[in-house]
């Protein structure tokens, strides 16, 4: 099956080919025709499955048939949990919409930056991508109206609800017209996601893509047993000795992310920390530099463990383990994306040994633990 056979217009297929997509991923085979047909959809899939293109392409195909709405109304509303994800989805919409003869305007709005430019930009927007808090502010100031929305999409619905956005989601949903297409994507299907899907979805097509298991199989996982005090030297050894183009290092606290990045820099390794205490501008700049390959090492808290797509990231290092096994899977899923393989290395202090066993049990995988003897 080709992208053209799925019902996408030729102009989009040209860009798809330029992007090097040879054939539709499984999720795209199912979602593209369903969304084009105007159906409601529940997609259980995580980043790495080709999920973004699976909704961007059919949404753009449908928008071509619709009129741009006036007076701060939008055709499509995409609600996401984080600013980074908003920016990433905006980029994919822009990449593909540029090829279409119709003028399709996409705008991402999120907190942590000034609201005024967003208010001004909210004219003739076809696709609005928003984090819940900022969207509510824009609704309250009447900078945007949602009563003519034709398609609603919630991405990473599980995270939206985990982060406590339930109340905001209820307020947003109340502003929408009753007749609309609803699309809901979530990495996991838990009770809360099930509740919201029952609330908003109308006879949905349900698509489950088991990427987590596939991803994990594609990732070479290793661990080093190492005293806490030797984690820094071991990290530096690994970064300098191995021939990795780029490394994403995870820590569990903001403080640790800063101190690990500082120490790397003091030792001549270019590194930047990214976490919730950094300004939005600093976060965007660090992410951009990392994505473009300019920055070799990014040290992040779990803020980045979901949703952010960095193509062909060869290795992820857990400087500290995350609390939940799910976050472990999300972290290591930053490597081995789509059909590429990757490496995930965890630095395990004696205090973390038990927790690491729990993670392995949950994941149903045994990870080889290596000794650092002779390395540092
Ligand atoms: P996503 O799950 O949306 O984060 O996508 C993961 C990665 O797969 C992104 O880098 C996409 O550009 C890429 N991608 C999406 N669909 C395809 C496809 N059909 N063929 C090859 N790469 C793709």
Nearest CA to ligand 1 atom 20: 21
Mean pLDDT for 59-76 is 93
Mean pLDDT for 196-225 is 81
145-198 pLDDT, tens digit per residue, is 999 999 999 999 998 988 889 899 999 999 999 999 999 999 888 888 888 998
Q: Return the bridge partners of 307, or none.
A: none
Chain centre to alpha carbon of residue 40: 22
CB atoms within 10 A of CB 178: 5
Mean pLDDT for 292-302 is 91
What confidence score (pLDDT) does residue 339 get? Answer: 55
Q: Which of 320, 57, 310, 40 shows the shortest CA–CA distance to 182?
A: 40
How many A from CA of 182 to the centre of ligand 1? Answer: 22
How many A from CA of 131 to the centre of ligand 1? Answer: 23
Ligand 1 binding site (Cβ under 6 Å of any ligand atom): 21, 24-25, 28, 47-53, 309, 311, 337-338
92-112 pLDDT, tens digit per residue, is 999 999 999 999 999 999 999
| Residues 248 and 334: beta-carbon distance below 8 Å | yes
Sheet of 205-208, strands arranged across = 106-109, 127-130, 76-79, 151-154, 181-186, 41-44, 205-208
What confidence score (pLDDT) does residue 137 get? Answer: 97
Burial classification of residue 74, based on how many CB atoms lie within 10 Å of its CB (0-12 exposed, 13-18 middle, 19 or more buried): buried
Atom of ligand 1 nearest to the CA of 309: 4
Nearest CA to ligand 1 atom 16: 50
> Of the residues 22, 48, 53, 304, which should be mutated to test ligand 1's pocket, given the most ligand atoms within 8 Å of the CB?
53
What confidence score (pLDDT) does residue 293 get? Answer: 87
Instruction: Report how far residue 259's alpha carbon sits from residue 52's, in angstroms, rounded to the nearest whole number.
Output: 34
What confidence score (pLDDT) does residue 282 get? Answer: 87
Tokens (6 digits) for 300: 């992040």
34 has a pLDDT exceeding 90: yes
What confidence score (pLDDT) does residue 47 get? Answer: 76
What confidence score (pLDDT) does residue 213 get? Answer: 42
- Which long-range contacts (C-beta less than 8 Å, at least 24 apart) are formed by 19-28? 19/95, 21/53, 24/50, 25/49, 25/50, 25/53, 25/54, 25/338, 26/209, 27/51, 27/54, 27/207, 27/209, 28/3, 28/53, 28/54, 28/57
Percent of the chain whose predicted confidence (pLDDT) is above 70? 94
83 has a pLDDT exceeding 90: yes
How many A from CA of 24 to the centre of ligand 1? Answer: 9
What confidence score (pLDDT) does residue 214 get? Answer: 41
Q: Return the bridge partners of 341, or none.
A: none
The mean of the pLDDT values for the chain is: 91
Atom of ligand 1 nearest to the CA of 23: 19
- Give the single-character DSSP code of 88: H
């Amino acid at each position: 099956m080709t992208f053209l056979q799925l019902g996408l217009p030729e102009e989009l297929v040209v860009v798809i080919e330029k992007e090097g997509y040879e054939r539709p991923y499984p999720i795209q085979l199912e979602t593209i025709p369903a969304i084009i047909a105007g159906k409601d959809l529940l997609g259980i899939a995580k980043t790495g499955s080709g999920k973004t293109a699976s909704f961007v392409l059919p949404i753009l195909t449908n928008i071509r048939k619709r009129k741009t709405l006036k007076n701060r109304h939008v055709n499509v509303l995409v609600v996401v949990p984080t600013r980074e994800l908003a920016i990433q989805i905006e980029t994919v919409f822009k990449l593909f919409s540029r090829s279409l003869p119709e003028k399709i305007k996409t705008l991402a709005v999120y907190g942590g930056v000034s609201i005024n430019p967003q208010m001004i930009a909210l004219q003739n927007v076809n696709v609005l991508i928003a984090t819940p808090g900022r969207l509510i502010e824009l609704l309250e100031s009447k900078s945007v109206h949602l009563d003519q929305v034709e398609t609603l999409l919630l991405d990473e619905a599980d995270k939206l609800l985990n982060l406590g956005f339930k109340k905001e989601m209820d307020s947003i949903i109340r502003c929408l017209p009753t007749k609309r297409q609803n699309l809901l994507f979530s990495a996991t299907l838990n009770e809360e996601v099930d509740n919201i899907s029952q609330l908003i979805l109308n006879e949905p097509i349900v698509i489950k893509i088991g990427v987590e298991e596939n991803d994990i199989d594609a990732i070479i996982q290793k661990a080093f047993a190492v005293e806490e005090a030797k984690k820094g030297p071991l990290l530096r050894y690994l970064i300098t000795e191995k021939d990795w183009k780029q490394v994403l290092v995870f820590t569990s606290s903001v403080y640790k992310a800063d101190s690990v990045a500082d120490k790397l820099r003091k030792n001549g390794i270019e590194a930047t920390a990214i976490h919730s205490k950094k300004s939005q501008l600093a976060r965007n700049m660090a992410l951009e530099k990392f994505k473009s390959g300019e920055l070799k090492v990014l040290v992040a808290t779990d803020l980045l463990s979901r949703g952010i797509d960095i193509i062909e990231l060869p290795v992820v290092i857990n400087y500290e383990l995350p609390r939940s096994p799910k976050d472990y899977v999300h972290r290591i899923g930053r490597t081995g994306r789509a059909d590429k393989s990757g490496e995930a290395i965890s630095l395990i202090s004696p205090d973390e040994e038990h927790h690491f066993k729990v993670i392995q049990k949950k994941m149903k995988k045994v990870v080889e633990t290596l000794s650092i003897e002779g390395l540092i």
